[in-house]
Amino acid sequence: MDDCVMLGIHVTGREEHAAEAQKVLTEYGCNIKTRLGLHAVNENLCSSAGLILVEVFGGESIADELTRRLESVKGIEVKKMVFENK
């Protein structure tokens, strides 16, 4: 069984950068097993920053490729976590 590879994608300036980030994520849609988007929101605030957690299918090489593509988008920072299946 493959390791579980997760990407934490920090998006700043969601209004300006989210569409380009979404375009990249859509291109890798068949390699995204799970996706969860988080941002602060209440009756007085909709945060301009957000966090997307993605479980990647296809191993670390696909995750690294996706990371490079996402980090080419202004306002995006990506951190990778790998959980070994033993």
pLDDT in tens, 2-52: 789 999 999 998 888 889 999 999 999 999 999 999 987 878 878 888 899
CATH assignment, 4-83? 3.30.70.1150
If residue 53 lies in a helix (H) or strand (E), which one and from where to where? Answer: strand 50-56
Contacts of 11 (CB under 8 A, 6+ apart): 17, 18, 21, 49, 50, 51, 52, 75, 76
pTM: 0.89
Residue 9 CB: number of other CB atoms within 10 A? 23
Give me the residue spans of the domains in the chain: 4-83
If residue 3 lies in a helix (H) or strand (E), which one and from where to where? Answer: none
DSSP single-letter state for residue 31: G
- State the pLDDT at residue 1: 64
